[in-house]
Amino acid sequence: PSIRRRGKPSNGLSLRNTRGKQKGRLRDKRQFHNNGGIELDRIISIDYIKGMLYSVPAILLAITLHEFAHGYVSYRLGDPTPKREGRLTLNPLAHLDVVGTLCLLLFGMGWAKPVRINPGSYKNSRIGTMLVSLAGPLMNYLLAFLSLLVFGLSGLYGHGFGEWFSYLALINIGLGTFN
């Protein structure tokens, strides 16, 4: 008689007893748990935890400086709105949107609180708006360049902290490109 287990085995093994012979096959957990849910081996993986520990501070820094750059350029062009709303700060909590940050961490796509501006405060509203719009991505590209520079120098001198700068560079390139 054939014995089949219903449900998902916790260890990723699929065992089938056929006509007295026991057949055991090890299936890849990703294939076996192909239900669109979170994969247990991905959560428990040391590489995944290491990636999250590197990514979270890099994401916070990238988003904070990106939004700060928008607000700073707007303020320098004569708009008091970012200062009045408390957006001229390097405190990440002033720039993070809770839902957007969770989506970024869980799905790789997210958003921050947009910096409100008043283009009527600029001498030339069209050019001012363009400069404010470019400030965030340019800040990200500058951070990516500096991160890659530090990453390259850390490789020359053998420091272990350089890997974090590669994460910072990739996140900033992505944020600067897709903003």
Catalytic residue IDs:
67
Cα-based angle 74, 78, 82 (whole degrees, multiple of 5): 45
Find all residues with CB under 8 Å of 164, minimum gap 6, and list them.
54, 57, 58
Which amino acid is it at 32? F
**Can you name the residues that pair with 162 across neighbouring β-strands?**
none
Residue among 74, 71, 75 at smallest CA distance from 91: 71
- 3-state secondary structure labels for all residues of 33-96: CCCCCCCHHHHHCHHHHHHHHHHHHHHHHHHHHHHHHHHHHHHHCCCCHHHHCCCCCCCHHHCE
